[in-house]
Structure 1
Amino acid sequence: MNRESLKNCKRIVIKIGTNSIMQSPTKVDYQQIDRLAFVCSSIQQQGKEVILVSSGAVGVGASEVNMDEYPTEIAEKQALASVGQSALMNLYSRFFQHYGQYVGQILMTRDIINYPSSYQNCQSSINSLIEKNIIPVINENDAVSVDERNHRTRFGENDTLAAVVTELTEADLLIILSDVDGLYDANPHHDDTAELIPHVDEINAEILDMAGGAGSTFSTGGMETKIKAAESVMSLGKSMIITSSEDLNVIFDILAGETEGTLFRKYKKESVLKEEG
């Protein structure tokens, strides 16, 4: 599929995961965060609008308190998220300001999108930051989110959150940065013959079967959650690309219309904000 139309994307959501900003469970990848700040700031300064959805609060929190094992207790994870979220935003603020760009934090829970007034307030807050040339940095509020039968406030992982933000902000394109170059017909970590699929126009059983499991210990999102996010974005008539975070210059290439990663695109208007039954 010709990707020339991606050159015209005005508002772009970029989602980066824990794996992409951590060298190891106990070490933050400062060089990667610096590169992310440079790329996002450069795109913003070209007249586009960037929204960053960033995982990593629990991972950065674990790094801050020198943990070497991922906790299993919810309370421990929430405590680490509380420590890590402020540390992560401090890093983003410092690195982005180095490139003359300010960022603003938005922490979301799923119930925000289920109530019209909360939804509108969140939408207005994000749009206000964008109008002021401030890049919103959005994450789930892991320190307080819960997932109970009658009180569901968790998105589950940030691939879902990124799809919701794409609709909330009426963005043109969602770029999900991963530890692989895109969707393959087999697991590229285990099968040397696996081939990259450059374009998907429909999420069917075959595509779902290609989705693998979750990533590293400090990450919860796998290819399956990315495929579900793609399905949501495609239902809006928007585009989504899964690509590798190894070289963040790939974002420049994508916005130049080059064939990178896997492009998910079709044209059908449905809402992704409806509560699952």
Structure 2
Amino acid sequence: MARVSAAALTGRDQLASAGRLVVKVGSSSLTTPDGHLDPGRLDAVVALLAARRAAGTQVVLVSSGAIAAGIGPLGLAARPRDLATQQAAASVGQGLLVAHYTRAFAGHGLGVAQVLLTAEDTWRRGRYRNAHRALTRLLDLGVVPIINENDAVATDEIRFGDNDRLAALVSHLVHADALALLTDVDALYTGPPSRPGSRRVAHVQGPEDLAGLDVTARGSAVGTGGMVTKLDSVSIATQSGVPVVLTSAARAAEAFAGEDVGTWFAATGRRASIRLLWLAHAARTRGRLVLDDGAVRAVVERRTSLLPAGVTHVEGVFEAGDAVDLVDPLGVVVARGLVAYGSDEVPQLLGRSTGELRGALGPGWDRELVHRDDLVLVRRGRHRVPRDDRTTLGP
């Protein structure tokens, strides 16, 4: 059961007074049980956000529902599983979804802007700056940005995987004061909410408060994210200094008012590099570098760069700049990083010092395999992201 402290009890005031708020609404909060878009549910969400906007809060909406909105028009029986059909459904459904939002927000005197992002837009420097600049200007103009993953073009290698992670990264991108994840359950529970004896977790001050919780229950048939991915998304936001409330759309008004509903996750860190947040929580690795014991100690305990001399084996096919897992001799992942060489170049470097490589192969071959600035540690299933107080805009 999560700890309850005085600081946690007053932390909800951060949501009530947030000047810039990112709100993520899941497919299950916008659709009927058979997966079709429900305009009534969408209107209720819009009314809530319009009220918050009228109170002076800038609102960024990360909305799922494009694929779900395309299910009916395409005559599909259920949410498609293959990427190509998901892309087709998203292409059809995204226009319908935004048309409904445009109508609904217009009824409150508000304009909207559709913003479709891919993962690279949140961590590649140029794209990050462009996205930040565009979203900031939209907010300054009084427009409500409606963000979704660009499912029509995103591939397995570059997609966020679900809009919970996207919302967490967007909260960093727009420098949000708080993030609200609206889902089909009203809070985080100690076990499946339907299980007798499961209790609501009201406050989470840090990862230790999650120990012993059973969050393995599957999400809805319409959406993609279960509680595990939501907690991973919470970690992205809170590690970057953004507090999070997780609750249902039905109880969002109470949560926005600072009432004790849902689950409040306190911020655990300060602003970190968006590139490292992406690497830790959302990047899909393309290979593995097997480290000897000395290299494991150097990377994990001394936080050094990974040098070729400490690597015994390479697995997978990757290019320079791809994300790879760093594993110990037993195969346990200890870190993740952006590799400086392609998989075809690495074998000739293994076990050799930088001096040996410079002498044998020439200048430029004596650099690190993974620089410490491009590396995050992985411990017991959690990612540790180095903080960089100098990072104020992008990687």
TM-score above 0.5, yes or no? yes
TM-score (norm 1): 0.92
Equivalent AA in structure 2 for residue 218 of structure 1: V
Query: In the alignment, does 2:234 pair up with 1:230?
Result: yes
CA contact (8 A) 2:20 2:59 kept: yes
CA 1:168–1:188 in 2, change beyond 3 Å: closer, same or farther? same
Task: Report Cα offsets for 1:41-70 as digits up to 9, x if no partner.
Answer: 111111110000001111100022232222
**Hey, what's the Cα distance between the residues in 1 that align with 2:148 and 2:78?**
22
Q: Is the alpha carbon distance of 1:230 and 1:272 closer, same or farther for their aligned partners in structure 2, counting shifts above 3 Å?
A: farther
Give matches, 1:105-254, under 5 Å.
Answer: 105-148=114-157, 153-189=158-194, 191-204=195-208, 206-207=210-211, 209-245=213-249, 247=250, 250-254=251-255
Match of 1:61 among 70, 75, 78: 70
Secondary structure of the corresponding residue to residue 260 of structure 1: coil
For 2:253 and 2:213, the matched residues in 1 are separated by 31
Deviation of 1:179 after TM superposition, in Å, equals 1.1
The answer for the alignment partner of 1:258 in structure 2 is: 259
- State the partner residue of 1:99: 108
Tell me, in whole angstroms, the C-alpha distance in 2 between the residues paired with 1:158 and 1:208.
26
Instruction: Show the counterpart of 2:54.
Output: 45
Distance 1:154 1:266, change over 3 A: same
Amino acid at match of 2:98: M
The structure that has the greater radius of gyration is: 2
Structure 1 residue 170, shift from structure 2 partner: 0.5
Q: What letter matches 1:263 in structure 2? A: W
Q: State the match for 1:89 in structure 2.
A: 98
SS of the equivalent of 2:207 reads coil
What percentage of residue pairs aligned between the two structures are identical? Answer: 33
SS at match of 2:32: strand
Tell me which of 262, 268, 273 is aligned to 1:271: 273
User: Pairwise CA RMSD of aligned residues?
Assistant: 1.6
C-alpha distance in structure 2 between counterparts of 1:22 and 1:257, whole Å: 27
Distance 1:101 1:41 in 2: 8
- Conserved 8 A contact 2:148-2:163: yes
Q: Secondary structure at the match of 1:155?
A: coil
CA 1:132–1:43 in 2, change beyond 3 Å: closer, same or farther? same
Could you tell me whether the CA contact under 8 Å between 1:19 and 1:219 is conserved in 2?
A: yes
Superposed displacement of residue 219, structure 1:
1.1
- Aligned residue pairs total 269
Q: Quick one: distance in 2 between partners of 1:266 and 1:91?
A: 34
Report SS of the residue matched to 1:23.
coil
Q: Does the CA-based 8 Å contact 2:25-2:181 persist in structure 1?
A: yes
**Could you tell me which residue of structure 1 aligns to residue 83 of structure 2?**
74
With over 3 angstroms needed to count, the CA separation of the structure-2 counterparts of 1:26 and 1:155, relative to structure 1, is: closer
Is the contact between residue 109 and residue 141 of structure 1 (CA under 8 Å) also seen in structure 2?
yes
Over residues 76-125 of structure 1, what are the superposed CA-to-partner deviations in whole Å (9 max), with x where a residue is unaligned? 11100100011100111111111111110100001112321111000111
* Deviation readout 1:136-163 (Å, 9 max, x if unpaired): 0000001110123xxxx20110000000
Give the secondary-structure state (helix, strand or coil) at the position aligned to 1:193.
coil
Provide the C-alpha distance between the structure 1 equivalents of 2:226 and 2:60, rounded to a whole number of angstroms.
22
Q: Report the Cα offset of residue 251 of structure 1.
A: 2.9
TM-score, structure 2 normalization: 0.65
Task: Indicate conservation of the 8 Å contact 1:208/1:227, yes or no.
Answer: no
